[in-house]
Amino acid sequence: MQQSEEQKNGGPKDDKLISLVILTSDGNKTWNHDFPKTMKVSQLIQAIATQFHLAQNGQYEVRLETNLEEALKPERTLVSYQIQDGARMILTDLGRGV
């Protein structure tokens, strides 16, 4: 029995997940990860802060690399922005936590 291309690459992609590339605004850190599409932007920011060892009480925002003019609203879900797999998002530190 011949394996499909999806099976060779670790199985079919879960339709409930979205693959994102997260970058810091200074370009020093990058994280490729699959996130639930229903995740709120605030939860995404918290996950990124944890991954990058940033202050949990800091102030951060994320923007799509394709639309740097608009910060994503923390209360909205990723799916509400119709973000595509492989989208690149920029995390900006708005100020240090105390």
Q: What pLDDT, on the 0 to 100 scale, is given for residue 7?
A: 40
Domains contained in the chain, CATH given: 14-95 (3.10.20.90)
Q: What pLDDT, on the 0 to 100 scale, is given for residue 91?
A: 97
Token readout for 65 is 């690399």
- What mean pLDDT comes out for the span 10-15? 63
Alpha-carbon gap, residue 3 to 8, rounded angstroms: 6
Q: What pLDDT, on the 0 to 100 scale, is given for residue 12?
A: 55
8-state DSSP, 80: G
Summarize pLDDT for 13-70 with one digit per residue, the tens: 678 999 999 999 988 999 999 999 999 999 999 999 999 999 988 999 999 999 999 9
For the cut 80, the answer to whether the pLDDT of residue 11 exceeds it is: no
Task: Note the pTM of the prediction, 2 decimals.
Answer: 0.81
Residue of higher predicted confidence among 36 and 8: 36
